[in-house]
């Protein structure tokens, strides 16, 4: 019996240590989230934005952030509790709920990246209430997909004209940038430099999208089609993932 009790005590102690370790290593995530929501509670949106990652801030100004917080009732923040804390491959995540001053309970998920030695909020997601579609991020409609493809090609063309892929790479998702340094972008798209005139031809053109674009099995957005130039067409296939508050490029192929 004593041996059995020792085993039980050992298991309990191990679980306690594991929980304590999780709380210790993820405390930085909670500190950033708490500071962000305290600024939200004061309705100091400028201060709240200081806890966002650079990519998040680039896509969400103060007006847009305030509008999102108001629309989701997070502007009435009272307190937060986190049921799940995780750090994997240098990225953090908190899942939990926010209680509002009126007593509401809002499920939220925050993801984090390390910037300048500290954790910054990379995305803030709240599931839509009421009747919703199966996907958390609805598929953009055709005009939005056209604008997305045009923006991608504009960034790519600018890099082709400059003779390097810096601008194009900077416009893509953080995940793709982490996986591929500038040298790999150069290797992948070097062939475009020899047909720069073709990209100049389509600079002011709108894309014609193929039918059937939509979300893949992992939630990635697929957009494909072509740009018609005076002497050549440029076909493209692009894949996007939802990062921060926008769709960002995770894959791109072209054919002249």
pLDDT digits (tens, 9 = 90+) for 25-35: 568 898 999 99
Question: What does the alpha-carbon distance between residue 139 and residue 214 come to, in Å, rounded to a whole number?
Answer: 6
Residue-wise DSSP of the chain: -HHHHHHHHHHHHHHHHHHHHHHHHTHHHHHHHHHHHHHHHTT-HHHHHTTB-HHHHHH--HHHHHHHHHHTTGGGEEEEEEEEEEEETTEEEEEEEEEETTS-EEEEEEEEEEETTEEEEEEEE-PPPSS--SSSSPPP-HHHHHHHHHHHHHHHHHHHHHTSSHHHHHTS-HHHHHHS-HHHHHHHHGGGGGGHHHHHHTTTPPPEEPTT-EE-TTS-EEEEEEEE-SS-EEEEEEEEEEETTEEEEEEEEEE-
pLDDT of residue 164: 92
Nearest to 92 by CA among 30, 49, 36, 47: 30
Average per-residue pLDDT for the chain: 82
pLDDT digits (tens, 9 = 90+) for 55-69: 788 777 888 888 888
Question: What does the alpha-carbon distance between residue 29 and residue 149 come to, in Å, rounded to a whole number?
Answer: 34
Does the predicted model carry a pTM greater than 0.75? no
pLDDT of residue 12: 46
Residue with tokens 């839509």: 128
Question: CB within 8 A of 186, min separation 6: which ones?
Answer: 164, 165
Tell me what the mean pLDDT of segment 168-178 comes to.
Answer: 89
Tell me what the mean pLDDT of segment 161-166 comes to.
Answer: 92
Spatial contact of 241 and 175, defined as CB atoms under 8 Å apart: yes
For residue 2, name the pLDDT band (cuts at 50, 70, 90): low
Domains, in order of start, for the chain: 2-125 (3.10.450.50), 142-255 (3.10.450.630)
Distances in whole angstroms, Cα of residue 36 to Cα of each of 89, 95, 131: 23, 15, 29
Question: What does the alpha-carbon distance between residue 145 and residue 209 come to, in Å, rounded to a whole number?
Answer: 8
Spatial contact of 221 and 139, defined as CB atoms under 8 Å apart: yes
Tell me what the mean pLDDT of segment 213-218 comes to.
Answer: 68
For residue 119, name the pLDDT band (cuts at 50, 70, 90): very high
Question: What does the alpha-carbon distance between residue 245 and residue 60 come to, in Å, rounded to a whole number?
Answer: 7
pLDDT digits (tens, 9 = 90+) for 217-245: 667 889 999 998 888 889 999 999 887 66
For residue 137, name the pLDDT band (cuts at 50, 70, 90): low
């Amino acid at each position: 019996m004593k041996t059995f009790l020792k085993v039980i005590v050992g298991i309990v102690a191990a679980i306690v240590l594991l929980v304590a370790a999780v709380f210790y290593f993820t405390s930085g995530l909670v500190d950033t989230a708490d500071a962000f929501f305290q600024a939200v509670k004061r309705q100091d949106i400028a201060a709240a934005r200081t806890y966002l990652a650079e990519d998040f801030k680039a896509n969400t100004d103060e007006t847009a952030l305030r509008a999102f917080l108001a629309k989701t009732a997070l502007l009435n923040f009272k307190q937060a509790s986190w049921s799940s804390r995780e750090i994997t491959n240098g990225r953090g995540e908190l899942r939990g709920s926010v209680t509002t001053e009126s007593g509401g309970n809002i499920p939220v998920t925050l993801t984090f990246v390390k910037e300048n030695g500290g954790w910054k909020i990379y995305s803030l997601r709240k599931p839509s209430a009421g009747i919703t579609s199966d996907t958390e991020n609805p598929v953009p409609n055709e005009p939005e997909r056209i604008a997305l493809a045009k923006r991608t090609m504009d960034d790519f063309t600018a890099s082709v004209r400059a003779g390097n892929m810096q601008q194009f790479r900077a416009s893509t998702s953080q995940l793709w940038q982490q996986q591929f340094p500038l040298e790999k972008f150069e290797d992948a798209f070097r062939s475009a430099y020899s047909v720069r005139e073709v990209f100049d031809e389509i600079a002011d053109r709108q894309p014609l999208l193929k039918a059937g674009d939509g979300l893949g099995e992992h939630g990635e957005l697929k957009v494909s089609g072509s740009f018609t130039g005076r002497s050549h067409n440029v076909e493209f296939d692009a894949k996007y993932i939802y990062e921060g508050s926008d769709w960002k490029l995770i894959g791109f192929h072209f054919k002249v």
